[in-house]
Copies of this chain bind each other. A is one copy, B any other.
Amino acid sequence: MSKYVPSCKEEVEFLKNYNPKDFPPLAVTVDAVVLGVFKNASDNYRKSGTPQLMVLLVKRNDFPYKGKYALPGGFVHEDETMEETLGRTLKTKTGLTDVFNEQLYTISDVDRDPRMRVISCAYFSLLDIDEAEITDAEWFPVSEAINMDLAFDHATIIKDALERIRGKINYTDIVFNMMPKEFTINDLQQVYEIVLDKKLLGAAFRRTISDSIEDTGKMTSNEGHRPARIFRYKKSSEK
């Protein structure tokens, strides 16, 4: 947006006399549902590990909800956009930088926060867990987190984030934000399966994602079974 130019002297005067302090205090916060997929190791040398969808939570050091787990987030500062707040809080509270983010929705219930009137904008962030160096935050399985006694309305926000991702996974490329640079089709299928919470048929899956991936020429090895081709993400023209 270009800088606003007052139309006349009268308006300059109006803006000079406008006192923001006259309004009842209100704060805006940003909360991030940071999701990734963790691949559990298998006990059997033949079997491949079962992946789990994980969410990043931070233990609160201050009132309110002191000691409870919460989504990483914080207050929007005077000179920041919400996206900048998101970047800053993710960096300081979790050590993360350069994460894929998308705005989820904004919550304005009057009594959300006992400190003051707080309106909060929720985002979801997707990343490859193996590349993420977390500092003061912990990963929890999503299935567990939504049943924990989280701070504020954060359990609800996690559920809504999941639903949004579930709705977008089939017509966008957002999954690849949770994948490593290189992966097998089965790795990818497993991520779809935990997000959608249902088994997919391999043959059909291969067909539908074929436009979004590209063969690296490499193969897996030492997996106790037939090696798999290794792919990378490829932006497809359609979609």
Main secondary structure, interface of A, reads loop
Give the total of A residues in contact with B, Cβ under 8 Å: 46
CB interface residues, A 1-25, toward B, < 8 Å: 1, 3-4, 6-7, 10-11, 14-15, 18, 20-21, 23-25
- A62–B213 CA distance with the chains assembled, in angstroms: 54
- Let me know if A111 and B4 touch, CB within 8 A: yes
Copies in the complex: 2
Contact of A64 with B6 in the complex, beta carbons under 8 Å: yes
Known: A20-B27, A26-B28. A11 touches B63 (CB 8 A): yes
The reply on A80 being an interface residue by CB < 8 A is yes
Chain B residues with Cβ under 8 A from A4's Cβ? 64, 111, 113-114
CB-CB under 8 A for A78 and B11, given A1-B111, A20-B27, A28-B28? no
- Chain A interface (Cβ < 8 Å from any Cβ of B): 1, 3-4, 6-7, 10-11, 14-15, 18, 20-21, 23-28, 63-64, 66, 75-83, 103, 105-106, 108-117, 119, 121, 153
